[in-house]
Structure 1
Amino acid sequence: MRREELLDLNAFMTVAEEQSFTRAAAKLGTSQSALSHTIRRLEMRLGVRLLTRTTRSVAPTEAGERLLGTLRPALDSIGAQLTSLGELREKPAGTIRITTSEHAADTTLWPALEKLLPAYPDIHVELSLDSGFADIVTERFDAGVRLGEALAKDMIATRIGPDLRMAVVGSPAYFQTRPIPQTPQSLADHQCINLRMLSSGGLYAWELEKDGRELRVRVEGQLAFNNVNMIVRAATAGFGLGFVMEDQVTAHLADGRLIRVLEDWCPPFPGYHLYYPSRRQPSAAFAVLVEALRYRG
């Protein structure tokens, strides 16, 4: 394959991923008109239309989707091989992109990166904070961080954090007017602060468990947030019960700003794992990061 053809294919994939000629041109360092000419040249050479263009968006046609399905793994493989050449350098180098939740980034990833990166100035890390489940292959992430119980089976997973627990909490002022809930069913008589999931848009059902019995409780109340810090703030202010990670309210419980209830319905569960495709050939930089994150508790 000629160099020109490779460049044309890369241009097509960039436009398809960015869904915009303007953004793709900026990413490729070329003009929008030159990029449009490149795509037309590729479509003429292949004899099929690859992109559907409207005034607001660009999307692959059926033929374009089929071509993308071939290009992505091929170019990813080439990229992995080029990255692996970094192992021949004196120091590991390269960019590592990770999709993660805000809690995992704050409690697990950043503490490790803060210690690691000063010793490896040629390693660059990009964290994408998202409560949903990104497809790390199609979205071109090197790895993801999620809870151990939610990992896909075709991924290599490395444990990077301890077991975690949830906590149902409310303020002393709230419990002055409400009884302490003794069972999950009694939550129906309480004001509860809901979490709106960014990925699905739905409200999170509180996951409780005791003696092997699992319950998913739909709760109601005046407030709903898509941010856990706001749930903690509202619970501390007496607006209802919150359901959050235990370590997010440790200080509040210690100084009495919050009271924990239904503790026996909140058992530990597997903590955070770093996961990546089994076919991925780790670069030297990625191997260094995995070793730094590995949980040894």
Structure 2
Amino acid sequence: MVRDALGDLAVFVAVAEERSFTRAAARLSTSQSAVSNAMRRLEEQLGLRLLARTTRSVSPTEAGETLLATLLPALGDIRGSLEALAAFRGTPAGLVRITTSRHAAETLLWPAVDAVLSRYPDIEVELSIDGALTDIVTDRFDAGVRLGESVEKDMIAVRIGPDLRLAVVGSPAYFAQHPVPQTPRELTAHRCINLRMATRGNLYAWEFERDGQALNVRVGGPVVVNDSAMAINAALGGHGLACVIEDQALLGHVATGRLVRVLEDWCPPFAGHHLYYPNRRNHSPAFRVVLDELRARATR
């Protein structure tokens, strides 16, 4: 029974993740009837209902959720073991899936991926740009990239970038009509560009620290965005102050006078971007190539 059910278990995972027989069939490159037959066969063999079906949706039952939680790590290990066989081909090959923030993707990941793809034509890389924290095991990612403070403690974390700083900026046109804030508390009297956090949906409280004194400030203003690049655009347009990560693009705006930086002494460095991944024995050669490239660039 176990041997015969292996294929049906893979079908179950696809249906449970896609929440749809149609999407699961497309993902597996098979017919919807074949997916339905596999699920019926598996449920009959187990004597359990694994999926709750309605006319509009499909979702795992409690038993299905338990089975899915067991299967996902196991299938990930199997995939890693199969990809490791590429070592016998003499050149790394296979797919590497990484979830990342836009800032990390643009400043760190893409330069490394660009170099890897140029050297290893059999490697494929999928970058999923998402501001929310992602369960990389459940969503079948090889790794994720987030700020060091956001990485779960049960993950292996590798620093891939330098310390970062926040920067509070506004346009000259804005400051022609508003005083320059001398302390973070004065921001409550300013028009500010709010950033909505992707994971919890709350507005970001601007974080400051000086001489060991930490201070969080809730700001208000005419614009709310969920992307730092849009916050910079709003600041360039004179719509208020923005609090974003300092990088070369932002410093370029400051250097040319398009933006004015304030409260710099309240913005100390903090831990930068880290690549994180589960503690598995069998990582594919393709993943190790990407990891080694990121590590090498971090030490330059």
**1:5-34 CA deviation, whole Å, 9 max, x = no partner?**
111111111100111000001111211122
Counterparts of 1:173-252 in structure 2 under 5 Å? 173-247=173-247, 248-252=249-253
Counterparts of 1:273 and 1:249, CA distance in 2? 21
Q: Please, what TM-score do these two structures have when normalized by structure 2?
A: 0.96
List runs of 5+ in structure 1 lacking aligned partners: none
The question of whether the paired residues in 1 share the 8 Å contact of 2:81 and 2:283 is answered with: no
**1:143-177 CA deviation, whole Å, 9 max, x = no partner?**
01011122222211111111111100011111111
- Residue number among 273, 286, 299 corresponding to 1:296 in the alignment: 299
* 1:279 is the counterpart of 2:294: no
Counterparts of 2:206 and 2:36, CA distance in 1? 50
Report the counterpart of residue 268 of structure 2 in structure 1.
Answer: 267
The question of whether the paired residues in 1 share the 8 Å contact of 2:148 and 2:274 is answered with: yes
Q: CA offset at residue 69 of structure 1? A: 2.1
How many positions carry a matched residue from both structures?
297
Q: CA offset at residue 3 of structure 1? A: 4.5
Report the counterpart of residue 4 of structure 1 in structure 2.
Answer: 4
Counterparts of 1:51 and 1:74, CA distance in 2? 20
Counterparts of 2:153 and 2:202, CA distance in 1? 25
Letter of the 2:165 partner, please give it. R
Q: Give secondary structure in 2 for the equivalent of 1:167.
A: strand
Deviates more, 1:75-84 or 1:94-103: 75-84
Letter of the 2:48 partner, please give it. V
Question: What is the percentage of aligned positions where both structures have the same residue?
Answer: 62
Report the counterpart of residue 14 of structure 1 in structure 2.
Answer: 14
Counterparts of 1:145 and 1:18, CA distance in 2? 24
Letter of the 2:116 partner, please give it. L
Q: Please, what TM-score do these two structures have when normalized by structure 1?
A: 0.97
The question of whether the paired residues in 1 share the 8 Å contact of 2:101 and 2:130 is answered with: yes
Q: CA offset at residue 279 of structure 1? A: 2.4
Q: CA offset at residue 199 of structure 1? A: 2.1
The two structures, once aligned, show a CA RMSD in angstroms of 1.3
Counterparts of 1:1-297 in structure 2 under 5 Å? 3-247=3-247, 248-294=249-295, 295-297=298-300
**1:124-145 CA deviation, whole Å, 9 max, x = no partner?**
0000111111011111100010
